[in-house]
Amino acid sequence: MVPIEKPLEWKRVRRAEDRPWPPQGKGLRLWFRGREEHLSDIRVAINYEIYDGIPVIAKTLDILYGGTKTIAIDGLTVEQLACVEPESSVEPRDPNSWRSPQLEVLSDYMFRGMDAVTANKIAHWENDPSYTTQVSYALQTPCLLSCRLPIGPGVELVPGESFRAFKVFLILQDSTDRERQGLTMKRIYRTLAPWTTENPLMMHVRNSDRESFRRAVDQCAEVGFEMIIYTFGSGFNMESKDEAYIARIREDVEYAHQKGIQVGGYSLFSSRRIDDENDVINPTTGKPGGAIFGNAPCLCSRWGEDYLQTIKTFMDKTELDLLEHDGPYPGDVCASEWHPGHRGAADSQWQQFQASKELYAWCRARGIYVNQPDYYFLVGGNKTGMGYRETNWSLPREQQMIHARQNIYDGTWTKLQTMGWMFVPLTEYHGGGAAATMEPLSEHLDDYERQLQNYLGAGVQACYRGPRLYDTQATKDLVTRYVNWFKEHRDILESDIIHGRRADGRDIDYLIHVNPALETPGMVVIYNPLPEPVTRSIQLPLYYTGLSGEVQIQQETSSPQTVSLDGQGRAVVEIQVPARGMTWLIVKGQAK
């Protein structure tokens, strides 16, 4: 038996759930040696971990080499598991149409995806031809789970060296219910990546000059925001080595810190061209171009290594609190044989990912929050997109409201609301003109209020992008009121979401926040998109509040009413929602 390993350091510098790190549980290490003569110098440790409170088995491999010659690891499979098929079919079928067993897979080798399915690069459900009694006449049932690298790793081991493989997390689901499965996944993130529960209220300031930045900092402090970010297109340059520029940013960061505001900065890595020497080399053409995003630098090139060191130095010297990393390593294979960080195409994907992974672990150890549009949660990332298309923010404001709630509803089935960012175009973004933007803010208070209701009512933080958060006292009062409301109910608003009704613009929609460990174990947030106030009778699934029998349900500040739950933990309540507005219900146990 061995203790649970701590894969990275987590410096806690902002509000987050009080979860133990590393997670509690037990580890087991088993050693093996090859029987054949040519494998006798190789020892393999199989490392297992199980964790308290979550149905997860983790597995990774350590390879120790004690031979006399250099060897290469050309391929790597960490897990191969034969599973019971969830359905049978005699005739041939499209491989993508089969149901998968109730076994989900995560790993610490995930990229190029804002959701776990897209970002999964190692889990493959395959046919098992040795399973000759299956119903499929052609033996095509995909019931064999193989967890392997898509390419490589291609690393070389010299005598005395060791190699650590990627880590597989096998998740055992006990139900086919979508909500229950999603709650399982969210409990796993709270346990294995507890930094994802950090959720600061953040503004994206559009200009990085001192006057604009400090004015925005003052507004953030006055209304209760917690972080400000030098946004994309602001003129901020994290790749600068100019000591005078670094000193100026450091002074502005210190100014923000004195006001209680943390500061972040934007940096673009991928989706850009450097030069033929440092760009990803296409294995097919032997030339730059044809990368996942067209052109991209290789993270293991001389430029890439310098880039990583430069932004680390910049963050250290300026004491930045957040890295907004746009286009993190997306999985490009680079055929260069002159880049210092990899040998060729075979090891390029593995080595570039390790460099990216190390950057986020470095950030986590320093308390630096990480926004990244990829699934780097298990290696230190905090937040990715909730699930939106940027051009949707050029839609008229009315359509943005509905679309935002749809994205939140859809995005929180398997992600915590604290793991996904949204967006508020205080100024024009991707077009749309005046109909799509909030400025002038004081002329669109109703829509600004509805944006605040959308996000804070779901426990989701958006990127409020513009030069300011308010322009008049009335605007300031509005923002302050909703920020204070959010902070008053923050514990429950950042707890698990149960999905009520999805927004469609035709009737009310709502979410239920639940946490049986809180004094307020339930909160229902209800939206009305219609131009007139409505009264509705709705059924609330309150099973996951942990309450039973009779409960107290209070609409906003009205007197609480006693409501009986049925045998499945459901309550029927009548609610009133103002036109194009929001209301909320507080759910508590019956007073004793």
DSSP 3-state percent helix, strand, coil across the chain (nearest 5): 30, 30, 45
Residue type present at position 417? Q
Predicted pLDDT at 441: 97
Q: Please state the domain extents for the chain.
A: 25-194, 496-589
Residues 277 and 275: their CA atoms lie apart, in Å, by 5
Residues 180 and 192: their CA atoms lie apart, in Å, by 18
Q: Write out 446-490 in H/E/C secondary structure.
A: HHHHHHHHHHHCCCCCEEEEECCCCCCHHHHHHHHHHHHHHHHCH
Predicted pLDDT at 267: 95
**243-255 average pLDDT score:** 98
Name the CATH topology of 25-194: Immunoglobulin-like (2.60.40)
3-class SS at 229? strand
The pLDDT of residue 302 is above 60: yes
Residues 261 and 256: their CA atoms lie apart, in Å, by 5
CATH numeric code, 496-589: 2.60.40.1180
- The predicted-structure confidence for 66-123, as pLDDT tens digits, reads as follows 888 898 999 999 999 999 988 888 888 887 888 888 899 999 999 988 888 888 999 9
Please state, as a whole number, how many other Cβ atoms lie within 10 Å of the Cβ of residue 438. Answer: 25
Which residues, including other chains, have CB under 8 Å from residue 384's CB and lie 6 or more apart? 114, 371, 372, 373, 374, 375, 376, 377, 419, 420, 421
Predicted pLDDT at 516: 96
* CA 296 remoteness from chain centre: 23
Cis check: omega of the bond before 22, within 30 degrees of 0:
yes
- The predicted-structure confidence for 323-360, as pLDDT tens digits, reads as follows 999 988 899 999 999 999 999 999 999 999 999 999 99
DSSP for residue 383: B
- The predicted-structure confidence for 380-424, as pLDDT tens digits, reads as follows 999 999 987 888 888 999 999 999 999 999 999 999 999 999 999
Same CATH topology for 25-194 and 496-589: the answer is yes
**pTM, full prediction:** 0.94
Give the DSSP letter string of 476-534. Answer: HHHHHHHHHHHHHTHHHHTSEEEEEE---SSS-EEEEEE-TTSSS-EEEEEE--SSS-E
